[in-house]
């Protein structure tokens, strides 16, 4: 199977990146659930959900190691300040899940914003103009197709945000700045460029996340590894810093980003936690990833087994079994 660089690294090469199935298989575990999860009454049972994703929507809790009811999942969402929902950028199913979670969160979070990995901070006005109606849908489509791509896949999320009047926040660093810093270091940036990044670009401290990152790059020199790690951390730290800014304004934040920005509790969640303590948050991932074919029974067997790596990837899994 062809190996494709995981999301953070590919962002250095192209804005239209994916998290490959081979990279997904490297995931070993995820940081433990936070204290908010302990407050949730878990009631393991399969459920039918009216959200427009599939005829039967199944939510699996890593804590319960079983399916949970819609009511319990909704209760979990209502307690959270920050929700991270992973994706493959070109997966319509993933974006339908994100739209469903966004719509549900809007019911209990009056000051909700949607953070987008796909858009950098320089495009904030365009995002605001779209939600406010100052630009047409066709103008916004032109912007999205030029700067992001996969519009047909992202459309459920974007249309839900506009319908619910949820502000879109561009989380990411401008690609040109990341390229420049990767090649010549942060000191090469102009004051104006440096001002678009966090004051501190923290190192990866999550050992499992770091191990995955390092293993992906393989046998390269320490100097090259340092350059790539800096670039990756500029992406993650910038997005984390922008999430924190929204929390300090009193907003709840839902983040949609590629899986590589949130697994292991690394990436964005790690950066947020370093800057802001006592936040109730959770990672929600579609499963199996990227349209892999697994039956419901196969999925439940994997996720309910604590010895299986996949069972530890996230706090909640939105199941997409074959034929569903």
DSSP state of 202: P
d(CA 70, CA 78) in angstroms, rounded, equals 12
Q: How many residues does the chain have?
A: 324
CA atoms within 13 A on the CB side of 62: 24
Q: Are 84 and 262 in contact (CB under 8 A)?
A: yes
Whole-number pLDDT of residue 221: 92
Q: Is the peptide bond before 221 cis (omega within 30 degrees of 0)?
A: no
What domains are defined for the chain? 7-319 (3.40.50.11550)
Extract the runs of DSSP E, i.e. beta strands, from 7-111. Answer: 58-61, 66-68, 82-87
* Residue-by-residue pLDDT tens, the chain, 324 positions: 223 234 434 433 333 333 333 333 333 222 233 443 344 333 333 333 344 444 478 999 999 999 999 889 999 999 999 999 999 999 999 999 999 999 999 999 999 999 999 999 999 999 999 999 999 999 999 999 999 999 999 999 999 999 999 999 999 999 999 999 999 999 999 999 999 999 999 999 988 888 877 887 788 899 999 999 999 899 999 999 999 999 999 999 999 999 888 987 889 999 999 999 989 999 999 999 888 899 999 999 999 998 887 888 899 999 999 865
At residue 12, the pLDDT reads 36
Q: How much is the pLDDT for 296?
A: 94
pLDDT at 323: 64
Residue from 69, 71, 150, 117 nearest 268 by CA: 117
Sorted by sequence, the CB contacts under 8 Å of residue 17 that are 6+ apart come out as 5, 7, 10, 11, 89, 258
Alpha-carbon distances of 296 from 45, 57, 178, 320, rounded to whole Å: 13, 11, 41, 8
């Amino acid at each position: 199977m062809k190996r494709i660089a995981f999301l953070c690294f590919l962002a250095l090469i192209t804005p239209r990146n994916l998290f490959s199935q081979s990279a997904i298989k490297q995931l070993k575990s995820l940081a433990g659930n936070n204290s908010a999860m302990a407050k949730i009454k878990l009631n393991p049972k399969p459920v039918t959900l009216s959200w427009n994703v599939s005829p039967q929507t199944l939510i699996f809790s890593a804590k319960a190691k079983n399916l949970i009811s819609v009511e319990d999942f909704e209760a979990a969402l209502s307690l959270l300040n920050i929700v991270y929902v992973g994706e493959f950028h070109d997966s319509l199913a993933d974006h339908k899940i994100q739209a469903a979670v966004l719509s549900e969160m809007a019911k209990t979070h009056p000051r909700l914003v949607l953070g987008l990995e796909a858009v950098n901070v320089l495009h904030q006005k365009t995002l605001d103009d779209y939600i406010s109606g100052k630009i047409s849908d066709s103008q916004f489509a032109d912007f999205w197709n030029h700067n992001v791509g996969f519009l047909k896949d992202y459309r459920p999320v974007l249309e839900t945000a506009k319908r619910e009047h949820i502000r879109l926040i561009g989380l990411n660093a401008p690609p040109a700045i990341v390229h420049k810093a990767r090649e010549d270091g942060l000191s090469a940036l102009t004051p104006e460029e440096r001002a678009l990044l966090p004051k501190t670009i923290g190192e990866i401290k999550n050992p499992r996340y770091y191990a995955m990152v390092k293993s992906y790059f393989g046998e390269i020199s320490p100097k090259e590894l340092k350059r790539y790690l800096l670039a990756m951390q500029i992406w993650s730290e910038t997005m984390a810093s922008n999430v924190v800014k929204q929390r300090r304004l009193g907003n709840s934040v839902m983040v949609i980003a590629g899986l590589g920005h949130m697994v292991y509790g690394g990436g964005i969640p790690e950066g947020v936690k370093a800057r802001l303590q006592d936040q109730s948050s959770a990672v929600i991932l579609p499963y199996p990833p990227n349209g892999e074919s697994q039956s419901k029974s196969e999925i439940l067997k994997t996720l309910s087994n604590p010895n299986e790596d996949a069972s530890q990837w996230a706090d909640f899994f939105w199941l997409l079994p074959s034929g569903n």
